């Protein structure tokens, strides 16, 4: 493997909980939109996340929150280009690119990004699987739906979705060792379905024998369950991530790296006592 950062990331998978720090270059993300768009602000946040214990940084320039306005690829890249290359060059950690567009992924991978985090699981852009394979990158395959259908069995829907995604990955030549699954909390699911998806973490691992990434940081589910505003959802996020860690989850996409690293340190110490 030619990318030592990716090799380090893949080697660490399964050995301990990995923290993926969120770095949004968007003006409209639900939690921190507009805060880290410039290079200096992005650099400071990247440093904070890594010093707090993040193992990988996930950079995105298009919000995918409920009700978001889609961004053309040209605008997405305009936000990324002044920042991404400098950050990859400055920090030795692996980076992932949060995009469902193959052209954005290709450009980011050319700058040294190691992982593509695709919220449509290789199923939105027909070129995405080939783009990942050509770069020798890893990919996070996330479950998603266009609409919420409270009546369906969401776990069965997830399993069928991942079967389709993995077929696309296999056809393109993406190694199974380079694939992570994300249940897609908050994407096309009711509150009950979000909880069912989290509870199914162990079932996902058993079905596909692949690492599972959980992305619940500060999400609306904690507002619904706890009545907590966005900035007061850390406790709920920690509770969900520790629960899914106990169920076998491997990677946790979060805004608060230091708090999660501390929580996982205690959790692992007790688990291995």
3-class state of residue 159 by DSSP: helix
Q: Domains of the chain: which residue ranges? A: 4-11+18-271
Q: What residues does 136 pair with on adjacent strands?
A: none
Tell me which residue of 31, 17, 20 sits closest to 222, measured CA to CA: 31
Q: Which residues are catalytic?
A: 219, 253
Q: Give the pLDDT score at 68.
A: 66
**Count of residues for the chain?**
273
Q: Give the pLDDT score at 2.
A: 79
**End-to-end Cα distance, the chain:** 35
CATH class of 4-11+18-271: alpha beta
3-class state of residue 137 by DSSP: coil
Distances (CA, A) of 212 to 35, 41, 50: 29, 30, 21
3-class state of residue 97 by DSSP: strand
Residues 97/116, Cβ–Cβ less than 8 Å = yes
Q: Give the pLDDT score at 66.
A: 65
Q: Give the pLDDT score at 27.
A: 76
Q: Give the pLDDT score at 186.
A: 96
pTM of structure? 0.94
Tell me which residue of 171, 162, 159 sits closest to 129, measured CA to CA: 171
Output phi, psi for 118, to 5 deg: -105, 110
- Residue 168 Ramachandran class (φ > 0 left, ψ -120 to 50 alpha, else beta): alpha
Q: Give the pLDDT score at 157.
A: 98
pLDDT along the chain (273 residues), means of 10: 91 97 78 66 96 97 76 93 95 98 98 98 98 98 97 98 98 98 97 98 97 97 95 97 98 98 98 96
């Amino acid at each position: 493997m030619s990318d030592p950062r990716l090799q380090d990331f893949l080697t660490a998978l399964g050995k301990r909980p990995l923290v993926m720090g969120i770095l949004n270059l968007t003006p409209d993300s639900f939690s921190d939109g507009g805060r880290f768009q410039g290079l200096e602000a992005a650099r400071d946040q990247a440093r904070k996340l890594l010093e707090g214990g993040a193992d990988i940084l996930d950079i995105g320039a298009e919000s995918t929150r409920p009700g978001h306005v889609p961004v053309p690829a040209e605008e997405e890249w305009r936000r990324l280009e002044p920042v991404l290359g400098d950050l990859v060059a400055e920090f030795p950690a692996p980076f992932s690119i949060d995009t469902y567009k193959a052209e954005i992924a290709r450009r980011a991978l050319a700058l040294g990004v190691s992982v593509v985090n695709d919220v449509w699981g290789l199923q939105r852009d027909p070129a995405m699987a080939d783009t990942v394979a050509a770069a020798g990158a890893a990919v996070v395959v996330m479950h998603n739906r266009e609409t919420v259908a409270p009546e369906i069995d969401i776990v069965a829907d997830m399993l069928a979705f991942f079967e389709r995604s993995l077929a696309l990955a296999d056809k393109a030549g993406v190694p199974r060792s380079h694939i992570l699954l994300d249940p897609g909390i908050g994407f096309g699911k009711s509150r009950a379905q979000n909880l069912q998806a989290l509870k199914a973490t162990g079932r996902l691992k058993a079905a596909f024998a692949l690492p599972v990434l959980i992305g619940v940081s500060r999400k609306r589910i904690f507002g619904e369950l706890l009545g907590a505003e966005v900035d007061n959802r850390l406790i709920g996020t920690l509770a969900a991530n520790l629960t899914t860690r106990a169920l076998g989850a491997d990677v946790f996409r979060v805004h608060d790296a230091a708090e999660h690293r501390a929580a996982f340190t205690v959790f692992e110490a007790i688990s291995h006592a």
